[in-house]
Amino acid sequence: MVCCATPSIGGDHAISTSFHERLQRAWSHADSLLCVGLDPEPARFPAHLGRGAEHIAAFNRAIIAATADLVCAYKPQIAHFAAVGAEQALVDTVAAVRELAPHAVVILDAKRGDIGSTAAMYAREAFVRYDVDAVTLNPYLGSDSLQPFLEWSDRGTVILCRTSNPGAGEIQDWPESDPLYARIARIAVDKWNPHGNLMLVAGATRPAELARIRELAPDVPLLVPGLGAQGGDLGAAVAAGLDRHGRGLVVNSARAILYAGSGEDFAEQARAEATRMRDALRQAAANTQGSGSQPNT
């Protein structure tokens, strides 16, 4: 069932199945836990492509074409488009995923959070204007700020829990006796998953907290940022976060793949790096399952 207010909205890709069914298919189709983060920075584009905002769509399309069979998801980060007025490039990027990687889910990284009436506007931005499969949300404002998203039962809601950045602990790990991130995970499982379309963000930089989130939310898929430039350990993150079915993870990598090369072969370089990461994730998952060390077995 789609949100009652907009029964006819969304392409067939989006409304014919639940978000979790689409995610399961994406994992199966590509046999991959890898998500490519689309954080376009025109100043880092290869010179031959051009380094202005007008080249964002072409850059993203080249990356998507080069990695389509290697990933379960793409995660465009909206600030990279909004900062330079490239809304149309975001529309074009989502369209490129539908065309070139139709199995993949598109997670819009927007980290929205506002009161109910405004949250409905943000949901419209994500699910109507950009027609993505899921959107990231910030839980600081509580349940009523998330409700307008949760009502879109065919779309995914990806709620920040324990983020990967250095300053996250200042807020999210407090109080020590029962840290906020753990409270968020508990509330999310209890109240924010009415249609089974919940994901949680759990950074790769903190495997212990990631393992705790997996323990509190055994069946919830986790979006895992923080590998590569942010320094997270891939093996530790997979061991901590894999679910009982040997899946449950969407592991994001952006800059390490997007800017693997800066010459005319940038797409081939991106493919090589994405292949390396997909394989490393496969190996880590096999190791974890082989050792029986993941929780909830």
Are 15 and 155 contacting, i.e. CB atoms less than 8 angstroms apart? Answer: no
- Does residue 121 touch its own copies according to CB under 8 A? yes
- Does residue 268 touch its own copies according to CB under 8 A? no
- Does residue 95 touch its own copies according to CB under 8 A? no
Range 147-166, binding its own copies (CB under 8 A) = 160, 163-166
Distance, in Å, from the CA atom of 159 to the CA atom of 169, rounded to the nearest integer, reads: 16
- Does residue 275 touch its own copies according to CB under 8 A? no
Distance, in Å, from the CA atom of 160 to the CA atom of 154, rounded to the nearest integer, reads: 20
Q: Which of 13, 25, 51, 111 is catalytic?
A: 111
Range 50-89, binding its own copies (CB under 8 A) = 77, 79-80, 82-85, 87
Distance, in Å, from the CA atom of 211 to the CA atom of 203, rounded to the nearest integer, reads: 10
- Does residue 131 touch its own copies according to CB under 8 A? no
Per-residue binding letters, 96-115, with its own copies (x by CB under 8 A): -------------x-xxxxx
Query: Pairing mode, if any, of strands 222-224 and 105-112?
Result: unpaired
Name the amino acid, one letter, at 194. Answer: P
Nearest Cα neighbor of 254 from 20, 36, 17 is 36
* Candidate residues 21, 140, 194, 208; the one interacting with its own copies per rule CB under 8 A: 140
Which residues, 6+ apart, have CB-to-CB distance to 107 below 8 Å?
35, 73, 74, 75, 132, 133, 134, 135, 136, 156, 158, 223, 250
Pick the closer one to its own copies by CB: 130 or 266. Answer: 130
- Does residue 286 touch its own copies according to CB under 8 A? no
Residues that bind its own copies (CB under 8 A): 39, 77, 79-80, 82-85, 87, 109, 111-119, 121-122, 124-125, 128-129, 138-145, 160, 163-172, 174-175, 178, 180, 183-184, 187, 230
